[in-house]
Structure 1
Amino acid sequence: YTEAENSYTEALSVCPAYYQKDRSILYSNRAAARMKQENKEEAIADCTKAIELNPNYIRAILRRAELYEKTEKLEEALQDYKTVIEKDPSVGQAREACM
């Protein structure tokens, strides 16, 4: 996962800023690699950046919600889960989490 994190960091350094959706995916993927390494705060920051670049990126919002849960930021997690449901009511994980 360290190698993956480094690869995404390198990709972000060369990907032009105007490719917002691509950069959003790179940030979200780097967040996943960081999450696997238990670097939760850095992963949350990456998810937040991914969401800023693409506010409709469900996977990044869901990933950040999971990270918020793991860091006991339950209000933030609930807000992200609600956001996911608003954008896509079919996401069962978000519905279950809200219950």
Structure 2
Amino acid sequence: MVHIEDVTDADAAPQKHEAANSAPAAEEAKASEQTTSPAVQSPETDANVEGSEQETSESSEQDVQDRYGDGLVIAPEGQKLRAVLYANRAACHLELQSFKEAAKDCSSAIDIDGSYLKAWHRRTKAYEGLDDVDHAMRDFQKILELNPEDPIAKKSIARLQPIVAERQEKMKDEMLGKLKDLGNTVLGKFGMSLDNFKADKDPNTGSYSINFKQ
């Protein structure tokens, strides 16, 4: 049985007052009432999150697919209800450490509702679980565009920036190493190597000149 509940993450942006959430909750409830299958129930409040997470921890990957699959089959295309279902299933995937599936479901939720902050937050968790810090960083930056005061996004960007910079530097060094190996392979046919060439930087212009040396 699918429980449609916009689960709150510890890492998600802080909620406003309960009244501020009444409109989305009403919208989700209305959407759920339009479905005919008992597999989709009315959205629950965040007060019921704890029970849902406990149920998730005892679930298998197949349980997650079965629980939310039926709801996604009958939910109207492009409706907020589908985004909630995808985001909730992503939360279950995260609990099971199925990060690839979690990222995919978050992307589906975001495609429906690009301002759905919880889906963005959950996708950052999935990307970090996949050790894809570059995409996690981009998502946190997008979260700041949607909510400039988001404290989790601010802290996470500050935390990830040095990691991303270090990895980019490492990738650059690896690429230069491969290019050097390729250059030496070609020059080796002529009895030369890149060591026969020296790059001198002009301090005035910043440009380089290549000089040949024996």
TM-score (norm. length: structure 2) = 0.44
In the alignment, structure 1 residue 15 sits paired with structure 2 residue 75: yes
| Larger relative helix fraction | 1
Decide which moves more: 7-16 or 76-85.
7-16
Higher relative contact order (CA 8 A, sep 6+): 1
Structure 2 unmatched runs, 5+:
1-55, 159-214
Q: How many residues align?
A: 98
Give the corresponding residue for 2:208. none
Unaligned 5+ runs, structure 1: none
Q: CA RMSD in A?
A: 1.3
3-state SS, counterpart of residue 134 of structure 2: helix
Q: Which residue of 1 aligns with 2:139?
A: 80
Q: Which has the higher strand share?
A: 2
In terms of Rg, which structure is larger? 2
Q: Contact 2:127–2:133 at 8 Å: present in 1 too? A: yes
TM-score (norm: length of structure 1): 0.91
Q: How does 1:59-74 map onto structure 2 within 5 Å?
A: 59-74=118-133
Residues 91/5 of structure 1: CA separation in 2 closer, same or farther (3 Å cut): farther
Contact 2:125 2:136 in 1 (8 A): yes
How much has 1:41 moved relative to structure 2? Answer: 0.4
C-alpha distance in 1 between matches for 2:89 and 2:64: 7
Q: CA deviation at 1:66?
A: 1.3
